[in-house]
Amino acid sequence: MKANVIEGCISCGLCASVCPEVFRMNDENVSEVYHQPTPEQEDATQEAADGCPVSVIEIE
């Protein structure tokens, strides 16, 4: 699995709350992927993507 945050993040912080091992808020208060998910983190990463209110988390 590979995660990516595309343009359009509204800085709600949901992804960083759901899966802080993969997502964080950067200095501009926009979500970013700072570690790609391990197999153990895939469910939480998918949950973060599914919960994103603006659907800017891409999962491959």
Domain range for 34: 3-59
CB burial of residue 56 (10 Å; 0-12, 13-18, 19+): middle
- Work out how many domains the chain is built from and give that number: 1
Question: pLDDT tens track of the chain, all 60 residues?
Answer: 999 999 999 999 999 999 999 999 999 999 999 999 999 999 999 999 999 999 999 999
Distance between CA atoms of residues 1 and 13, nearest Å: 21
pTM attached to this predicted model:
0.93
Q: For position 50, which CATH number holds? A: 3.30.70.20
Angle ∠(4,35,60) on CA atoms, nearest 5: 35
Angle ∠(40,3,21) on CA atoms, nearest 5: 45
pLDDT at residue 49, as a whole number: 99
